[in-house]
Homo-oligomer: A and B are copies of this chain.
Amino acid sequence: MVTLKDVARQAGLSVTTVSRALNAYDDVAAETRAHVERVASELGYHPNHIARSLQGTRAYAVGLVIPQLVHRYVDSFWQEFIAGVTSTCGEAGFDLVLCTGKDLHAEQAHYQRLVRTRRVDGVILCDARVRDQRISFLRQSHAPFVAFGRVLGHDDFSWVDVDGTTGVRTAVDYLLSLGHRRIGYLGTPTAFSFTHFRHEGYVDALFAAGLDYDERLILEDLDVASELQAPIMELMNLQEPPTALIACADYLAAGALRAVRSLGIRVPEDLSLVAFDDTLVSQHTEPPMTSIRQDNQLIGSRVATVLIQQLLGDGLPPSHELIQPSLVVRQSTAPLPAA
């Protein structure tokens, strides 16, 4: 393997000079630089990344730990997100180092290792929780990081998030415009911080329309393994059942669709249904679903951009960025039929 020393010897210069010549420092003679570059390429020199990292400068890599099993494993969220991260990183000359952790604790251990060993220059944190130990840890260990997802009351770190509040509010407004007044709500696990923002959109929209918040129409804390059949049945057997339902995740919408169908309720004739995420799942159901769409690749790309900016220009203030989702209208929603 060709090292800097080999190049130095061959060029009749010191290792230091060669290093600086190759790294575009401005204090080396143009002639010397040319010579060094020629020798380096003749010898087929490539800098040893490991040594570079050990030395303490930049690793030109960012880290990401993905949960081993979350609901998102069933859709293509991570894939699109990662695609966004890697392509943006690539343009900036960074690589992505990926690990997986079975739980939050394991995730944190990975983050610790990655930054401590200088394997990466900074990390990306996903699925921000309401009380997130990982964030406290990263902050206190002075590891540059950017989170996908905000945490209420903590703006001392950079984050990129989807404006779930506006997303849900837009969807509810749309249902209202179709004449619906009894709108049910299926919420994601409350541990995730995005859950609360989405919920807020629902409340806001009802309030703006002067409608009551009826707790009986709300199902909360539903994860991918939740059994929806029974609660949905209860919901639809109310004195005044909802005429529309907004499900805060695709998997909930798909589950609700199956549940109501088994009750003989037709979508969208008897019940309108809106999903959130707009992955392949909601696009391929029958009928295809009206859904709040977030561009996962864009999210990954923005998170990476913010992190790299933070890494290159250091000491930048925390940046906060809200990405707007959009409502994709398909065939699972319809005007409220005249009673």
Query: What chain B residues lie within 8 Å of A90 (beta carbons)?
Result: 99-101, 110
Q: Which of B79, B118, B254 contacts A48 (CB 8 A)?
A: B118
Are A98 and B100 in touch, CB under 8 angstroms? Answer: no
A52 → chain B, closest Cβ, in Å?
Answer: 8
Q: Which of B66, B78, B101, B284 contacts A281 (CB 8 A)?
A: B284
A119 and B100 contact, CB distance less than 8 A: no
A89 to B87, CA, bound (A): 23
Please tell me if the beta carbons of A46 and B117 are within 8 angstroms of each other in the complex.
yes
Assess the B96–A83 pair: CB atoms within 8 A: no
A216 CB within 8 Å of chain B: no
- Of the candidates B46, B112, B114, the one whose C-beta lies within 8 Å of that of A113 is B46
Is A127 in contact with chain B by the CB < 8 A criterion? no
- Which residues from B are CB-within-8-Å of A280? 74-76, 279-281, 284
Given contacts A48-B117, A78-B79, contact A99 B96 (CB under 8 A): yes
A229 within 8 A of B: no
Complexed CA–CA distance, A135 and B161 (Å): 40
Q: Number of residues in A with C-beta < 8 Å to the partner?
A: 49
Is the pair A50, B119 in contact by a Cβ cutoff of 8 Å? yes
Alpha-carbon separation in the docked complex, A99 to B60 (Å): 12
Q: How far is the CB of A299 from chain B (nearest CB, A)?
A: 15
* Interface members, chain A 268-291 (any B CB < 8 Å): 279-281, 284-286
Cross-interface CB contact of A1 among B75, B83, B116, B281, cutoff 8 Å? B116
Please report the C-alpha to C-alpha distance between residue A75 and residue B1 in the assembled complex, in whole angstroms.
Answer: 37
- Inter-chain contact A97/B95, CB cutoff 8 Å: yes
Complex Cα spacing A284 to B285, Å: 5
CB distance from A126 to the nearest CB of B (A): 13
Q: How far is the CB of A322 from chain B (nearest CB, A)?
A: 25
Judge whether B74 and A98 touch: CB under 8 Å. no
Cα–Cα, bound, A162→B48 (Å)? 36
A98 touches B95 (CB 8 A): yes
Minimum C-beta distance from A115 to chain B (A): 9
How near does chain B come to A98, taking the closest CB pair, in angstroms?
4
Q: Quick one: which of A71-85 are within 8 Å of B by CB?
A: 73-80, 82-83
A-B pairs with the 3 shortest C-beta distances? Answer: A286-B286, A79-B79, A284-B284
Q: A49-B118, A96-B97 known; 18 other A-B pairs, CB under 8 Å?
A: A1-B116, A48-B54, A48-B117, A48-B118, A49-B119, A50-B54, A50-B59, A61-B97, A73-B79, A76-B79, A77-B79, A86-B100, A87-B100, A90-B101, A97-B98, A254-B284, A284-B284, A286-B286
A-B contact pairs, 13 of them (CB 8 A): A49-B59, A49-B119, A50-B117, A50-B118, A51-B117, A68-B83, A77-B79, A79-B82, A82-B82, A89-B99, A90-B101, A95-B98, A95-B99
Chain A contact residues, CB within 8 Å of chain B: 1, 46-51, 53-54, 59, 61, 66, 68, 73-80, 82-83, 86-87, 89-90, 95-101, 110, 112-114, 116-119, 254, 279-281, 284-286
